[in-house]
Each structure stands twice: as structure tokens, then as C-alpha cells.
Copies of this chain bind each other. A is one copy, B any other.
């Protein structure tokens, strides 16, 4: 069956049927807005939206459940970047009317899987037809303790730079099934003085300069140290994008303890010191650093 044969109300009823809720959800899908309880005033609210577009972020023949996973994971990864806890999500689905209902249900299955895994309630959705490619846009709301949120701005000259996992070649598979580093980010800010953090979505080559610029510092990287996925060159590890790993700068004195404790806590996830932040006046050459550029 095609979407145009089902109609919007029945489609939405079908899609939201299997969704899990949370105790702080007062009104979920089906009304004009979703209504949720506010966290205590000791917490700050975090908001983020991101989208995936057919033929840009996924291929027409990719599994729709993986497309749903990716769409949600991209947004959740930004909560990890700030050491936040995502709680509620809204889904906007823009789809051609001749798309199979089954495709859409599988998309939602992927969305639900990752939402459930991270305790996120899907509290609303919107659909629209289009004569173009499918667009899935996810907005999420979460929170973080006032003293634990991390921006890109706090990096200081001399801070060691770390990256989780491995970089490069994500397009071969990982971009559709990656795990947002929420647990890792929460552990980091609980135990160490993280000065600046972000997730690597456009490639280290684009994102590290953003972190450095926001912190008003420069950076120095040993390219030989970059943790690379199998089959990826140094240049690919820097520029491929879609790694969704954490990149962070921390207090120099915490570096040794972090390296010691990380391995115990996350034995299956690499943590690599790739370089350090430096004063802005220092002249560095970053020949490979341009990363994924949108709109090309």
C-alpha cells in the first residue's frame, strides 16, 4: 500500500501505536503540541534538530530501519557532545505519496529502536508530501546539570585533545548504525574536567577547527596518531566525516587518570590522544583540514 492510499490520520495512528512513553510525558502524539514536565531548575534544557535527506545522507536502497536509526542517532549525538541527556523527540517525515507504507513503518521501527535504547520518548510527529526526496528531520529536547554542560568554547592552550573510536570510511557502513556517545560523555563530565567537547560529524578536518575557533586557540595534531578505521588513509580519517565520535579537550592534569580509567570503563572503545590545543599566535599548517563541506 502507498502512503496516498492510507491518509495522514491513519498513517500517524499506525506509526505512533508502538511508541514507548516516559513518566514525564503528559500528552504525547495526537494533540497540537506535545506536553511534558519541566526538569528541576538545577538543570538546563538542551534543544537540537537535525535531518537526513535521501541521496545526501542515505541511499534509496538503504534499509529504512537503518535510515531511521541514523536520523535519530545524529540528533542524539549532539546531546552527547554537550554531555546532555536527551529525553523527548519529534519526528518530521517529508515523503513522496507513492512511498510504500511498509517503508515508512520500517523507518519508524529504526527510530523507535534507538529512542528506546536511550530512553527517549517520541512525543510527536508531522508528515508532509513532496515531489522530491524523503527528508526525515528529528528535533529533540533534553537536559543537563547546570555545572556539567560542555560547550566548544572552553578549550585552553596546552589542553590535550582526545577522540573516541576510529575515524574514516564511515560511508561503508558505520554512518547507518553508529552509537551516539552519550554514556561516554556523561562519564567524562562526571569524572574529569572536560574543557571543550563536540561530536565529529563533518570530519575532524572541519570540526576540530570549529572547536579551536570557538575556544580562540589553535591546535596541533600528530596525524600518525589518528585512530583509523580499517582501509582508511590518514586523509580519509581527517576528511570523510560522519564519524560521530567525541572530540574533547581536557585539563592537562587529568590526562593520565583518564587514560588509565577509560580502558577499564569502556574496554571495547578506543580512546586516543591525538594532539593538543595551542596558543593562537603559533603558526600551524593544516593541509588536510577542510572536512565535509555542505552545499557542494
Contacts and interface: CB of A to CB of B under 8 A. Distances in A.
Interface of A: 3-4, 6-9, 11, 26-27, 30-41, 43-53, 55-57, 78-79, 81-82, 84, 88, 90-92, 94-95, 97, 123-124, 126-133, 135, 137, 139, 141-144, 149, 151-153, 198-199, 210, 214, 293-296
B131 A55 contact: yes
Given A38-B39, A296-B4, A32 B45 contact: no
20 contacts: A7-B295, A9-B210, A26-B44, A31-B152, A31-B198, A32-B81, A32-B198, A33-B46, A35-B44, A36-B44, A38-B38, A38-B44, A38-B45, A48-B90, A49-B124, A51-B92, A90-B139, A92-B137, A127-B294, A132-B132
B32 A36 contact: no
Given A97-B295, A295-B6, A295-B127, A47 B36 contact: yes
Contact of A34 (B3, B47, B129): B47
B129 A132 contact: no
Chain copies in complex: 2
B33 A79 contact: yes
A84 B41 CA distance: 20
Given A7-B294, A132-B132, A33 B48 contact: yes
A49 to B, nearest CB: 4
A163 to B, nearest CB: 15
Nearest to A210: B9
A37 B33 contact: no
